[in-house]
Amino acid sequence: MARALGSAGPRVLLALLVTWLLAGACGGAGDEQGRGGAGDTRGTDGDRLAIATTVAPITSIVANIAGDRADITGIVPEGTNSHTFEPRPSVAELLSSVDVVYLNGLGLEEPTRELAEANLADGAEMVELGTLALPEEEHIYDFSFPREEGRPNPHLWTDPPLALRYAEIVAGDLAARDPDDAEYYRGNLEAFEGIVGGLDAAMRQSFATIPDGQRKLLTYHDAYAYFARDYGWEVIGAIQVSDFEDPTPKDVAALIGQVEAEGVPAIFGSEVFPSPVLEQIGREAEVAYVDVLRDDDLPAGPGDAEHSWLGLMRFDYVTMTEALGGDATALRELRVANVAPDEAEYPQ
């Protein structure tokens, strides 16, 4: 019987994670604690963990931590609308054969979550990284993700400190499932922490060059709310409404007025969601319309270092910095090297 850890007990898992990290820091052997069957499924098909993930940035984060000790299959193909994606029924077979599914949760991948719930093998589990990473009181609800619909903005991974939380949760969970390799996962987590630290420093250095009052985002797809909160940016609007329809003409007129009043030099569309409306707003407000942001579609191609969570972050934040009049040299010079490459396969 599969259970979603995200709803079953985030505090329990976090407490175990903290215990595990502390034990490691003291050189103790604190890895034996079981987690109600975690690890039992390992070994049924050899000694490698079988992992399923959902969106590509999560796949990349998991790949960085799991390294060469697991086989990873991503379920949500890049370049699709991950918020509405429905896996083919054939994915059920994959889900019935994995030890663990790492997903975002917070309502992002409901059809995949439901398919997993129905098909996971005994002892296999779902781990909802977004649900575990952030306490409910810190959830952000906004125009595209209104509170009354009960689903917070799910885009935690575009905020580096929260992406690091994802990595910490994955490392703790993998160590519990596969105690023999606990040191390996801990080492990968430490290396990933270094990567996030370097990215964070380059982001702050680049953002500091954006003229005062211009660290503002009008986006089409609302994927940067937690980032904005942590890095002192202001989301002045996101025009994709919760049902993925276009805004009304009245909303559009109001947004044009707002863009003019805010004095931003650019507004941002998303590569996966072409938006003639945002293009129109840019034209009428006479600001640049930059339509290349990505929230879960990684740059470059499989096998390239840029085809990773880190590459995605660098791409988006270089794009924002330069379009808003800043100098992104620090980010451009950041070396994009992952702890481990993403070699995940996707079912067709």
Residues in contact with Zn ion by CB under 5 A are 223, 295
Q: How far is the CB of 173 from Zn ion (least distance, A)?
A: 24
Contact call for residues 186 and 69 (beta carbons, < 8 A): no
Give me the residue label for tokens 């259970």.
3
Give me the residue label for tokens 């935690």.
156
Q: How far is the CB of 222 from Zn ion (least distance, A)?
A: 8
CA distance 96 to 292: 36
Residue closer to Zn ion, measured from CB, 295 or 322: 295
* Nearest Cα to Cα of residue 116 among 174, 170, 51, 69: 51
Residue closer to Zn ion, measured from CB, 181 or 295: 295
DSSP-derived secondary structure for 74-101: E-S-TTS-TTT----TTHHHHHTT-SEE
DSSP summary character for residue 126: E
Helix (H/G/I), strand (E/B), else coil: 123: coil
Residue closer to Zn ion, measured from CB, 82 or 206: 82
Residue closer to Zn ion, measured from CB, 173 or 295: 295
Q: How far is the CB of 23 from Zn ion (least distance, A)?
A: 36
**Which burial class, exposed, middle or buried, applies to 270 when counting CB atoms under 10 A from its CB (0-12, 13-18, 19+)?**
buried
Q: How far is the CB of 155 from Zn ion (least distance, A)?
A: 6
Q: How far is the CB of 158 from Zn ion (least distance, A)?
A: 9
* Nearest Cα to Cα of residue 102 among 90, 120, 78: 120
Helix (H/G/I), strand (E/B), else coil: 231: helix
Cβ-Cβ contacts under 8 Å for 134 (sequence gap 6 or more): 156, 162, 165, 226
Q: How far is the CB of 294 from Zn ion (least distance, A)?
A: 9
Q: How far is the CB of 270 from Zn ion (least distance, A)?
A: 8
Residue closer to Zn ion, measured from CB, 178 or 295: 295
Residues in the chain: 348
Tokens describing residue 334 = 């950041």
Beta-bridge mates of residue 270 = 273, 293
Q: How far is the CB of 129 from Zn ion (least distance, A)?
A: 15
Residue closer to Zn ion, measured from CB, 153 or 308: 153
* Nearest Cα to Cα of residue 181 among 31, 23, 17, 343: 31
Instruction: Give the CB-nearest residue to Zn ion.
Output: 295
Residue closer to Zn ion, measured from CB, 66 or 293: 293
Contact call for residues 214 and 232 (beta carbons, < 8 A): no
Residue closer to Zn ion, measured from CB, 71 or 109: 109
DSSP-derived secondary structure for 28-52: --------TTTTTTTBBTBSSEEEE
Beta-bridge mates of residue 127 = 102
Q: How far is the CB of 185 from Zn ion (least distance, A)?
A: 28
Tell me how many degrees the CA angle 341-204-132 measures, rounded to the nearest 5: 55
Residue closer to Zn ion, measured from CB, 158 or 205: 158
